Structure 1
Amino acid sequence: MDGQRHDRLWRLVAGRASLRTAASGWVGVVCAVTVEQLDVDAAAVTVRTSTPSQDLIAASGPWVESLEEVQYTVGEGPGVTAFGTGEPVLVSDLRAEHTRWPGFTDEVTPAGVGAVFAFPLQAGAIRMGTLTLYRRRPGALDADGLGDAATLAEIVTTALLADNQENDETALWTREETPGFYDEVNIATGMLAAQLHVSLSDALLRLRAHAFSKHLPLTEVARAVLDRQLRFDSSTD
């Protein structure tokens, strides 16, 4: 990593401490700095696991929150691929990637997404999630933009690792203080797995399939399951 680049960006993050909130902590500040400094319109940090499950830790606004939820609902997209491969996924024109992620592109292209850049958050063998950047117009990031984005992903990774130091006041982000953005999905997945006697992965797949077929956000479907307004009574649901 370029030490000067890292120091410059970290100073920018530290200088915007007033943007820190209880909900997103320093990770949210990094998202704000990312949008300020790079030629992008939105940024989000999502923690992912291989089960698969995910949680949105920070986002620069409601638009990107909805875009990240589409990736969760359809189970595909640049962030999902970046996490799975451990490599950045740089999409300068999303319209050209329809065959790669048909469900994702069908949903987000009408929402005005032109380009997406996803960076895995990892330290050694530990892979934690993604920093995903969205732009309304197509076009690649220039060399400086790519360098800055990769460095900001490293800074986010440091913030997430600091979560393990829950008694350390210098920790940048603490999960205990942050309600999970997709907690209802996780709970509904567990309920459905128990009801249908299937694995958590299969239960999540059922929820996703229903959400996709009805053109609903996954969180809305999960809420309906929790409220007993939606039941999956057979293996064909």
Structure 2
Amino acid sequence: MRRPWAEVIAVRDRERIADVIAQEVRGAEPGEVPERLCAAAVRLLPVSGASVSLRGEGMPVPLSASSERAAHLMEVQATLGDGPCLRAAETGTPVFASDLTTGRDATRWPVFAQQAAASGVRAVYALPLGDRAVCVGTLDLYRDVPGELADDEVRTARLVADVLTVALMALPRGEEAGRQGDGLWLSPLATDHDEVYQAVGMVMAQRGVASDEALSLLRAHAFAEGRTVLDVAHEVVVRTTRFDTD
């Protein structure tokens, strides 16, 4: 009995997607896998960039990106504490902002939308790595023109997110990572964010506040100066910026 033509097409699409992913990750070291999968997403989908971030205490931790612009937009969302990727991580469901220049998407995240548009990005599609029960982070896709993803493109994006989730869960961590070299599976983007947590602790001590308020102070300072929270955190850690003086 012959399979329906639509089923044949779906099988062929899955095979094509699997082949592109396999090409990208072949020979990759554990820490390179997220970046390679970002590259696969850009090859497979009508997007100009992709990034991956992990859920962290109070803010996402940027893990990898396909370009400097994608990495910058990750940092913008981390600084603002707002944006599609944070919403997707909170809910464990996809969040698609198909037009950041006008309408509902532009008003949901007005500051992020403005900064994204200023960088040339008009649409963002954020997919959770996991589900409502367990979400370890997000895959964020960026496009230079407004528009929704077609149904087959959404399926492709979900497949890449699923592969990325499995890859992240399989990467060495904890004692296993220690045996293979500290931080082996973490990219420089992620390890740089250690300074944010150091800075939060220092602001807590300087101002006598809880961690969430300390993070809010860092974010507010960064936003007021048009910089990222990572930039301000570095200054706090090296003691060129303090929060115990008015």
TM-score by length of 2: 0.84
Shift of 1:3: 7.3
- 1:52 is aligned to 2:63: no
Shift of 1:164: 5.2
Shift of 1:175: 4.9
Where do 1:1-237 residues align within 5 Å? 6-17=14-25, 20=28, 24-49=31-56, 51-96=57-102, 97-122=105-130, 125-163=133-171, 175-178=183-186, 179=188, 180-233=191-244
Identity of aligned residues (%): 36
Q: Deviations over 1:107-160 (max 9, x none)?
A: 221111111100011157221110000001111111111100011111111011
Change (3 A) 1:161 1:177: closer
Contact map agreement 1:211 1:217 (CA 8 A) in 2: yes
Residue 146 to residue 19, structure 1, CA distance change in 2 (3 Å): farther
- Seen in structure 2, the aligned counterparts of structure 1 residues 21 and 94 have a Cα distance that, compared at 3 Å, is farther
CA distance in 1 between partners of 2:86 and 2:79 (Å): 11
Which string of whole-angstrom CA distances, capped at 9 and with x for unpartnered residues, describes residues 159-216 of structure 1?
11113577889xxxx9544242422212111211222222221111110011111111
SS at match of 2:118: coil
Moved more, 5-14 or 39-48: 5-14
Q: Which has the larger radius of gyration?
A: 2
State whether residues 54 and 182 of structure 1, in contact with CA within 8 Å, keep that contact through their aligned partners in structure 2: no
Q: CA deviation at 1:106?
A: 2.3
Aligned residues: 228
Q: Gaps spanning 5+ residues in structure 2: where? A: 1-9
Task: Assess if the C-alpha contact under 8 Å between 1:123 and 1:157 holds in 2.
Answer: no
Under a length normalisation based on structure 1, what TM-score does the superposition of the two structures give? 0.87
For residues 41-74 of structure 1, give each alpha carbon's deviation from its aligned partner in whole angstroms, at most 9, with x where no partner exists.
Answer: 000010013x313211111010100011000011
SS at match of 2:217: helix
Q: What are the ranges of 5 or more consecutive residues in structure 1 without an aligned counterpart?
A: none
More helix by share: 2
Q: Over residues 72-111 of structure 1, what are the superposed CA-to-partner deviations in whole Å (9 max), with x where a residue is unaligned? A: 0111011011111111011111113232112211222111
CA contact (8 A) 1:10 1:155 kept: no
